[in-house]
Chains A and B, each alone.
Chain A
Amino acid sequence: MCDTCGCNITHGNEHLIKPGGKLSRTGTGNEAVTVLQNLLSENDHAAKHNREHFDRHGILAINLMSSPGSGKTALLEATLDALDGALNIAVVEGDLETENDAERIRARGVPAVQISTGSACHLDAHMVHDALHHLSLDGLDIVFIENVGNLVCPASFDLGQHHNVTLLSVTEGDDKPAKYPVMFRAADLMLLTKTDLLKVLDDFDLAKAEACLRKLANPAPVIPLSARQGDGLNHWLDWLQQQLAAHRQRLDTGETRRPAIQPDGIRLHAQHG
């Protein structure tokens, strides 16, 4: 949401700040100041800056989010192998500790920057900004940002990406979208990973996972795939190519894109004038 145009004044909070509303003055003679700024406005400012960096270089930025061990790095490895250099990719890796994931990507000859967050449970826009200074953005097509494995906190931080892709591995349970609505509401695409394991798991229902996503009013496409066996990988690659082409078209007309859930505030702003 934007902090300057007033679009974060919504149906739910506008009564608080209208004249006579309970936030407009104080009975004790102190100064009451109406602010209505996003608590993360510092982060959002940096995220906007990152997005401008990406857009200036014609890059599509994708934020990968999931719980730990759902196969984000394996997906990237399989993606890089399948693309075989057809697109120029770079990866920003987020983990609490170790360079392990960045090394797996670099082993494919693709530039990767590791962000070690220490104890922080998510990436924020400032961390990504610092990481981008260690990457040469010229000539890149896609930058993947592999967020810290966590189904809660990463959903609240805009990094400057254009799309959120949320992975749900079939070993985790098909009701994860119902349990972690903030995360799955933020998904522009849900990938159901490790489908090669479905034959030994009788309690994961692909249709139920999708139904849980729909209950969050999220119309995002769902792609089941196995990074290890390659099943469904072509649908994911098609999606990437389509989003890259759409993004380049947007940039030609001076537009950009923010991830799924964020247009809400802007639409409301237009509605209320």
Chain B
Amino acid sequence: MHELAICQSMLQQVEQIAQERQATAVIRITVSIGPLSGVEAHLLSQAFPLAAAGSIARDAELVIETLPVRVKCEQCGAETEARPNRLLCGTCGDYHTRLLSGDEMLLASLELTSETREANHV
């Protein structure tokens, strides 16, 4: 259950950013997770309320975006979708491929609110 540890690490970053921007609450947290990151989206959702309890993000909505696994072939140059345990080129079948996306584990964006100043867009 390393999702709880990852959630706690994420909330540390969220709290720091919320403080820097003098926010009073976090409305939404968007994370991008690839299937090859080793993080399970539904376990992250379950861990979130436990980790967020009592924090500035306690009422925040956690939005998890799942990214596709895509590879670029170093032999034929094709960019194709792949499965997590079959990262072969979808065109020529070679295994000399490079991952384009699918291993991300990112805090992508936050939506913050502040009672003391005008809301603005960044």
Q: Residues of A contacting B19 with CB < 8 Å?
A: none
Query: Judging by beta carbons under 8 Å apart, are A32 and B104 in contact?
Result: no
| Interchain CA distance A169-B17 in the complex, whole Å | 45
B12 at the interface (CB under 8 A from A): yes
Residue numbers of B with Cβ under 8 A of A are 1-2, 5-6, 9-10, 12-13, 17, 21, 23, 27-28, 30-32, 34, 36-39, 65, 67-68, 70-71, 79, 84-88, 95-114, 119-122
Interface residues on A, range: 35 or more
Query: Judging by beta carbons under 8 Å apart, are B106 and A38 in contact?
Result: yes
Question: B64 → chain A, closest Cβ, in Å?
Answer: 11
Residue numbers of A with Cβ under 8 A of B are 8, 10-13, 16-17, 23-26, 28-43, 120-122, 124, 152-153, 155-157, 177-179, 181-182, 185, 212, 214-217, 219, 261, 264, 267-268
Q: Which residue of A lies closest to B110 (CB)?
A: A33
Query: Judging by beta carbons under 8 Å apart, are A42 and B85 in contact?
Result: no
Query: Judging by beta carbons under 8 Å apart, are B97 and A13 in contact?
Result: no
Say yes or no: A181-B107 contact (C-beta < 8 A), given A39-B10, A124-B5: no
| Interchain CA distance A36-B108 in the complex, whole Å | 4
Query: Judging by beta carbons under 8 Å apart, are B100 and A261 in contact?
Result: no
Q: Which residue of A lies closest to B117 (CB)?
A: A31
In the complex, given contacts A8-B106, A35-B106, A215-B87, what are 5 additional A-B residue pairs having Cβ atoms less than 8 angstroms apart? A12-B67, A34-B122, A153-B2, A177-B85, A212-B85
Query: Judging by beta carbons under 8 Å apart, are A215 and B9 in contact?
Result: no
Query: Judging by beta carbons under 8 Å apart, are B70 and A11 in contact?
Result: yes
Query: Judging by beta carbons under 8 Å apart, are B39 and A156 in contact?
Result: yes
Q: Residues of B contacting A34 with CB < 8 Å?
A: 108-109, 122
Q: Residues of A contacting B6 with CB < 8 Å?
A: 39-40, 156
Say yes or no: A8-B113 contact (C-beta < 8 A), given A26-B121, A42-B12, A219-B96: no
Q: Residues of A contacting B110 with CB < 8 Å?
A: 32-33, 35
Query: Judging by beta carbons under 8 Å apart, are B95 and A217 in contact?
Result: yes
Query: Judging by beta carbons under 8 Å apart, are A178 and B98 in contact?
Result: no
Query: Judging by beta carbons under 8 Å apart, are A33 and B105 in contact?
Result: no
Q: Residues of B contacting A219 with CB < 8 Å?
A: 95-96
12 residue pairs bridging A and B, Cβ less than 8 Å apart: A10-B100, A10-B101, A12-B104, A13-B108, A30-B112, A31-B120, A39-B31, A39-B106, A40-B6, A155-B38, A156-B38, A264-B103
